[in-house]
């Protein structure tokens, strides 16, 4: 069965710091990969997704992610975080139903 | 983008009662609906997958007789929590579409007293 691992459970950064959140998946076949964000009290919002092509994917709000097939990884990055990026971030993978990682809580301090 | 609605957005009920949650795709036909549950400070856990016109497929550990799913049309799926108990209190979210194109509903907060 497919699974998704997010190793960073809680990350605290200062504004303007760079961000990288890890995501690894286990599935031998072709996968589609996603990062979602959940702001406090709100529902999930798609940040970016990878289906095929350029493994460096750019999403909304300045986020990007790189798919490294050999490492089964899809890490999320942002060069300079803002206080408004404080949220829960979920990595997810298909091909069947979306399977979510456990989430990473990001806290950005002003 | 496509819009998916859920009704109600929140519900409070007494233990032992049943609660029905609706998920509607408003401007597209959803051949597949996924139902997720999210407990506080936890990730989304897939409960079941339903395809229009056929029986839902439940994930391991999810009681199909307790969580009844109906996907009678391409725009509507319902989740009924039967004989709800406090441990069923959670945030229930539907995902409409398919593996490549999917849209989340806004979720339903269920509180069982």
User: What HEC string does A18-67 produce?
Assistant: CEEECCEEECCCCCEEEEEEECCCCCCEEEEEECCCCCEEECHHHCEEEE
Question: CB B43 to CB A97 under 8 A?
Answer: no
pLDDT at residue A37, rounded to an integer? 94
Q: Among A16-20, A27-31, B74-78, which is the least confidently predicted range? A: A27-31
pLDDT tens-digit profile, chain B (113 residues): 668 999 999 999 999 999 999 999 988 888 889 999 998 878 899 999 888 878 899 998 999 999 999 988 889 999 999 999 999 999 999 998 855 577 889 899 999 99
Q: What percent of chain B has pLDDT over 70?
A: 96
pLDDT at residue B68, rounded to an integer? 95
| Closest residue in B to A98 (Cα–Cα) | B99
Please list the residues that pair with A46 across neighbouring strands: A36
DSSP string, A74-87: EEEEESS--GGG-E
The position carrying tokens 């036909």 is B29
For an interface test with B, the pick among A97, A100, A101, A102 (most B C-beta atoms closer than 10 Å) comes out as A97
Q: Is the minimum CB–CB distance between A102 and chain B shorter than 8 Å?
A: yes
Question: CB A43 to CB B104 under 8 A?
Answer: yes
Rounded CA-CA distance A104/A101 in Å is 9
Rounded CA-CA distance A42/A48 in Å is 18
Tell me what the mean pLDDT of segment A86-109 comes to.
90
Q: Say whether pLDDT at A95 is over 80.
A: no
Q: Say whether pLDDT at A97 is over 90.
A: no
Query: String of b and e for B7-26 (b: at least 16 CB within 10 Å)?
Result: eeeebebeeeeebebbbbbe
Q: Is the minimum CB–CB distance between A101 and chain B shorter than 8 Å?
A: yes
| Closest residue in B to A99 (Cα–Cα) | B46
**Measured between beta carbons, which residues in chain B are less than 8 angstroms from residue A51?**
100
pLDDT at residue A84, rounded to an integer? 95
β-bridge pairing A87-94 and A104-109: antiparallel
Q: Is the minimum CB–CB distance between A94 and chain B shorter than 8 Å?
A: yes
- pLDDT-derived band of residue A31, with 50, 70 and 90 as boundaries? confident
Tell me what the mean pLDDT of segment A24-52 comes to.
88
């Amino acid at each position: 069965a497919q699974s998704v691992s997010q190793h960073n459970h809680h990350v605290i950064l200062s504004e303007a710091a760079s961000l990288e959140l890890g995501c690894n998946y286990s599935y031998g076949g072709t996968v589609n990969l996603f990062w979602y964000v959940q702001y406090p009290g709100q529902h999930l919002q798609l940040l970016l997704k990878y289906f095929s092509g350029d493994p460096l994917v750019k999403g909304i709000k300045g986020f990007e992610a790189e798919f490294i097939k050999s490492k089964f990884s899809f890490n999320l990055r942002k060069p300079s975080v803002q206080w408004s990026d404080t949220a829960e971030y979920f990595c997810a993978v298909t091909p069947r139903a979306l399977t979510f990682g456990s989430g990473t809580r990001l806290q950005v301090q002003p | 983008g496509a819009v998916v609605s859920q009704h109600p957005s929140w519900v409070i009920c007494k233990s032992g009662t049943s609660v029905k949650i609706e998920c509607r795709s408003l401007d597209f036909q959803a051949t597949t609906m996924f139902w997720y549950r999210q407990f506080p400070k936890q990730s989304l856990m897939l409960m079941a997958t339903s395809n229009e016109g056929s029986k839902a497929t439940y994930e391991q550990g999810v009681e199909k007789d307790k969580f009844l799913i109906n996907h009678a049309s391409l725009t509507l799926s319902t989740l009924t929590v039967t004989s709800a108990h406090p441990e069923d209190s959670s945030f229930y979210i539907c995902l409409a579409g398919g593996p490549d194109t999917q849209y989340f509903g806004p979720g339903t907060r269920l509180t069982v007293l």
